Amino acid sequence: MENMHTTEVVKGVVALDQGTKEAGAIVWWRMSGDTARADLLAAYQAAGLDEKEIWGDVGPGTALRRAMGALAEKRRLVRPLEKRGRWALVSETVVDGEMTHATMATVSLGDNDHPQMTPVIPDLLQTVLDGFDYYTRVWTTDDVASWLTYRALSSCNAVTLRDTGGVYFIPRTTLDLWRRVVGALRSCSGARVFEVPALASDEAVASILDAVEREATSAAAAMEDELMEADLGARALRNRAETCAAVARKVQSYEALLGAKLDVLRDRLENLHGQLAAAALAAKDGE
């Protein structure tokens, strides 16, 4: 029978003890090749997913940086100049054991955010233009991995199981959404996404709760520091209060999922939310 999952279920591997209730899944991925943003957007729409989750086009500065990389050779260097988005093509020559460098041309973005070269070297300029056009339309493997980490996983209420990232837990309540996201991605890219069932054993609960606590504690500490040290306006304070409330909701959802309590952490978030809300009101009154 064909596998019904859009992720690749790792057979013969059990993440945690068998015979206990499934809490969700542990997921990770391996990226391959570039992905056309338009294709991913179309796949999202076809799957009935929220197209607002797809990031915008690659910025012209990033596209130019990637296009310039195609010009680098052993004796032709590509070097960034002090002005952002401006690059130098440098020829390297060795004569009698001495190395010299000379600037062949500079490349930058014009007023219309289109690459321009001075002086023009026709074949090299065409390579830049072709690369620039390509990289404005595609996501690299790093782009896709970042999008999965910071947008798709966030939408699925996931937590990272390692400080360095790379391995994540998806609660069972959002597994269907995650698999639809993965199905859309796999239909237009070379990405491979894997999952292993995560069962609600004592060790599993401890591991997942530790991840939730680490994430929420880090977020709370950052907002507390901003509240004490940064001169935030009313809007910024309201945004922080909304973020704090979202973190608290995530903690509560994991408490319900795992049948555990994080009272100290929840109290800290509730207290912080109250402080942020009060500070936002005070800032508004002072405007």
Q: How much is the pTM?
A: 0.79
Residues forming beta bridges with residue 160, ordered by sequence position: 168
Kindly indicate the confidence band of residue 33, based on its pLDDT and cuts at 50, 70 and 90. Answer: very high
Of the pLDDT bands very low, low, confident and very high (cuts 50, 70, 90), residue 15 is very low
Please report, rounded to a whole number, the percentage of residues in the chain having pLDDT higher than 90: 67
Question: Of 16-25, 67-76, 139-148, which range is least confident?
Answer: 16-25
Pairing relationship of beta strands 192-199 and 8-9 according to DSSP bridges: parallel
25, 176 contact by CB (below 8 A): no
The 3-state secondary structure of 150-213, one letter per residue: HHHHHHCCCEECCCCCCCEEEEHHHHHHHHHHHHHHHCCCCCEEEEEEEECCHHHHHHHHHHHH
The mean pLDDT of 14-42, rounded to a whole number, is: 81
pLDDT of residue 13 exceeding 60, the answer is no
Among candidates 111, 63, 58, 61, which has minimal Cα distance to 81? 61
Six token digits for residue 227:
């509240």
Instruction: Please state which of the ranges 89-98, 124-133, 152-161 shows the lowest mean pLDDT.
Output: 89-98
Per-residue confidence at 11, pLDDT binned at 50, 70, 90?
Answer: very low
CA distance 83 to 200: 54
Helix axes 202-229, 263-286, angle to 10 degrees: 20
For 144, the enclosing helix (H) or strand (E) is helix 141-147
Q: Give the distance from CA 258 to its chain's centroid.
A: 26
Peptide bond preceding 122 in cis form (omega within 30 of 0): no
- Nearest alpha-carbon partner for 167 in 156, 179, 153: 153
Whether pLDDT at 285 is above 70: no
The CATH number, out of the four listed (3.30.930, 3.40.50, 3.30.70, 3.30.310), of the domain defined by the range 60-135: 3.30.310
Per cent of the chain over pLDDT 70 is 91
**How far does CA 285 lie from the centroid of its chain?**
37
- From the number of C-beta atoms within 10 Å of its C-beta (0-12, 13-18, 19+), residue 233 rates as middle
Average pLDDT, the chain: 88
Q: Indicate if the pLDDT at residue 121 is higher than 70.
A: yes
Give residue 97's pLDDT.
82
How many residues in total does the chain contain?
287
The predicted-structure confidence for 40-76, as pLDDT tens digits, reads as follows 999 999 999 999 999 998 999 999 999 999 899 999 9
Tell me which amino acid residue 19 is. Answer: G
Bond from prior residue into 119 cis (ω within 30 degrees of 0):
yes
